[in-house]
Amino acid sequence: MEIIFPAVNIASIAPQLIVATFAILALLVEVFSKSSRLVFATCLVGLFVAFALSFMQWGRGIPYENSLVAVDNYTTFFNALFAIVAIITMLLSLGYVDNTGIDTGKYYPLILFATLGMMLLVSSMDLLLMFLSLELLSISMYVLVGSQRDRWVSSEAAIKYILTGAFASGFLLFGIALVYGATGTISFTKLESLLSGLTGEGLPLLKMGVLLMMVGLGFKIAMVPFHMWAPDVYEGAPTPITGFLSTGSKIAAFALILRLFNNPFNHLFSDWVGILWILAVLSMTIGNVAALLQKNVKRMLAYSSIAHVGYLLVAFIALSTRAMEAVVLYFTLYAIMGLTAFGCITSLTSGEKERLKQEDYTSLGYTQPVQAVILSVCLLSLAGIPLTAGFIGKFYLFSSAVDAGYVGLAVIAVLNSAVSLYYYLGLMLRMYALPGRFAPVEVPVGSPVGKIVLLLLGFSILALGIYPSPLVGVVKGAVTALSAL
């Protein structure tokens, strides 16, 4: 019998292949050379090549009617974004991994494997590939969270993350099974055509499957009431990985949700608007109120990220083209802000001791003025103060909700944003408290590369707050590809 192999377009998944190849190559380099610098360089080169290939794919969509992956501007945009997030995470990790005793031979390749999972997740056009991509991302993050094996809090965070992640994966996989049982397919394109005319007994089964899938994905984005793992994991993970988790991992899952409800589950979206409205309010409110009570900076930022999920849901509920543009724009801006915040904490690490308590930041503006200024800019942006990237992001989010008629939800979001001022500005004012009230903690000079990256991130927050038009234009191009499905 003749075996016929399906045609494979390698160019369509070139960035993903490059990331996978260099991740494996870095592991081989670690085995034979034992050089952490060479492993770092190998991974960094792979990410830059993947970013360049993603950039070259912009505007060159490849038909994917019978393909497992989508190659369009939406995928290309996020591939480039994930590569940038991974590059920044690696550069911020310089010095930190050496001081904290992390096994660099595994640390950097795992960042690439996690990035590969993000890229495949966003480009998935098949429920099975979606699940496998999410598991690749999750397993890589489990190991990265627990990579500081000599710290019990890191091991505890990894165990909690694994348990909750397995729980979420169970919901997701069961939901996929129900969707397949109701429709007989797991292809996004086929699902869209089937769902438009699905009636009778298959419809309740399908809705239950979508609900279970949303529960599983709700865990991944730390949406209330599936958020309880986030503060412990954020606190226990190595700080650069906390930034990587709060930006890349969360953005990948949310970008997938956008694709799912634009295609193939668009016909069912109206059934979940009421539930999502309540979850948006709960995420914003619980996240901000809990952040007010935190004394640990990483836990405060963890609850803050939960509140930001609520802000994203405000625009997601509208699901118009403008709303999707607002969500994707906020993804990008939040990635910059999250990496900056956790990057500043990383740069203030002294040996194995990190500044995690808020009192550790008292008078920081006088002992470490550069980090204090950058962190202050980031906090102002997270709070949504004008002339910062955060203000632009929130303006687009909330105005898109108003345009769609969700004025009450937008008002609640603005009030929650005002509440967040208390803990953001509280930490900022503490940094500029008069010297002498608390004994300053001496911090050694961090990695010069890390400081340059932080300066660029801080400048980006201000630049995008003043002139966001170029980024907005790119975002519109990405969302247009998604809307055209």
Which of 52-56, 57-61, 94-98, 454-458 has the least mean pLDDT? 57-61
* Backbone dihedral angles phi then psi of residue 71, each to the nearest 5 degrees: -115, 95
> Does residue 6 have a pLDDT over 70?
no
Q: What token pair was written down for 407?
A: 């004025």
Q: Would you tell me how many other CB atoms lie within 10 Å of the CB of residue 59?
A: 10
**pLDDT given for residue 289 in this prediction:** 93
Whether the CB-CB separation of 238 and 148 falls below 8 Å is answered with yes
pLDDT of 119 > 60? The answer is yes
The pLDDT of residue 415 is 93
- C-alpha dihedral (129, 131, 134, 139), degrees to nearest 10: -110
Answer yes or no: are the C-beta atoms of 117 and 91 closer than 8 Å.
no
- d(CA 86, CA 80) in angstroms, rounded, equals 10
> CA 465, CA 68: separation in Å to the nearest integer?
37
357 - beta bridge partners? Answer: 296
Model confidence pLDDT, tens digit, residues 249-279: 889 999 998 888 887 777 777 777 888 899 9
The length of the chain, given as a count of residues = 485
- Whole-Å CA distances, 137 to 118, 142, 163, 166, 394: 6, 9, 15, 13, 28
pLDDT value for 379: 93
Q: Measuring CA to CA, how many Å separate 391 from each of 283, 341, 372, 377, 397?
A: 19, 16, 20, 12, 10
Mean pLDDT, residues 109-121: 94
| Mean pLDDT of the chain, nearest integer | 85
Q: Look up residue 13 and give its amino acid.
A: I
Is residue 42's pLDDT more than 70?
A: yes
d(CA 455, CA 172) in angstroms, rounded, equals: 40
- Is pLDDT at 185 greater than 90 in this prediction? no
Q: Is 58 a residue whose pLDDT tops 70?
A: yes
Residue 124 — φ and ψ, nearest 5°? -60, 135
C-alpha 391/C-alpha 414 separation (Å) is: 11
Query: pLDDT band at residue 360, thresholds of 50, 70 and 90?
Result: confident
Residue burial 80-96, b: 16+ Cβ < 10 Å; e: rest: bbbbbbbbbbbbbbbbb
Give the Cα separation of 99 and 201 in Å (integer): 60
Cα 465 from Cα 316, distance rounded (Å): 22
Looking at 20-34, 260-274, 363-377, which range is the least confident one?
Answer: 260-274
Specify the pLDDT at position 25: 94
Res 356 pLDDT > 90 = no
For residue 5, the SS3 value is coil
Q: What are phi and psi of 348, to 5 degrees?
A: -95, 10
Helices (H), 221-368: 229-236, 239-244, 250-262, 273-292, 297-318, 321-347, 364-367
Determine the straight-line distance between the first and last CA of the chain, rounded to whole angstroms.
38
**Residue 485 confidence (pLDDT):** 53
Q: What tens digit of pLDDT does each residue of 414-471 get?
A: 999 999 999 999 888 888 876 655 445 555 546 788 889 999 999 999 999 999 999 9
What was the pLDDT predicted at 200? 62
Nearest-5° angle of CA 114, CA 116, CA 117? 65
The confidence score (pLDDT) of residue 1 equals 45
Q: For residue range 13-22, what is the model confidence (pLDDT) as tens digits?
A: 889 999 999 9
